[in-house]
Amino acid sequence: MMKKLLILILLIFSKACFSQGNGYFNDIDKALKNPNSVIILDLEKQKIKQIPSSIFNFINLEKLILKRNYIKVVPKEICLLTKLHYLDISSNYISELPQQMHSLKLDTLIMWDNRVREFNEEFKVMGTTLKYLDLRAIQMNKKEQTEIRKLFPHAQIRFGHPCNCNR
């Protein structure tokens, strides 16, 4: 009897710890049922080709993980997520970021294995809050890397080895 009770308690505890609670969701349909409670949305490896516009309804979203999908475009509406401070869009097919994104108060931007090689001058505003920028596995020459370092002087930036490409 004691053994069964212990197993039941462990099952209840594990469900509470690993369920979509505490603001964490990895299923957009479940998140949409209570959009104000979404703090972390993890849509890693869900074969997404474009960022669903419904994400912009999550006004309390702080952490968005979209890595390892098939996304090519980050829509300008991402700036509507005013509480967003962590964005992981790594391993997609993104070649540029919308100019409006500079207004986000991101402290972490992870975008390794994409095609972005430069940031607009407007992103300098983000340089005041950005603490970590991951740009590994993106072919850039030394000049491109230097320009990015100037925009984000306070961030720890991870680059791959610079290429000898003349752009």
pLDDT (0 to 100) of residue 20: 53
pLDDT (0 to 100) of residue 165: 77
Q: Where are the domains of the chain?
A: 25-159
| CATH superfamily, domain at 25-159 | Ribonuclease Inhibitor (3.80.10.10)
Q: Which long-range contacts (CB under 8 A, 24 or more apart) does 54-58 make?
A: 54/28, 55/28, 55/81, 56/80, 56/81, 57/32, 58/31
For 84-143, the pLDDT digits (tens) are 999 999 999 999 999 999 999 999 999 999 999 999 999 999 989 999 999 999 999 999
Closest by CA to 107, choosing from 125, 87, 91, 124, is 87
Q: In whole numbers, what is the pLDDT of the chain averaged over residues?
A: 90
Distances (CA, A) of 56 to 15, 32, 120, 158: 28, 11, 23, 28
- 18 pLDDT band, cuts 50/70/90, is very low
Question: What integer is the mean pLDDT of 6-21?
Answer: 49
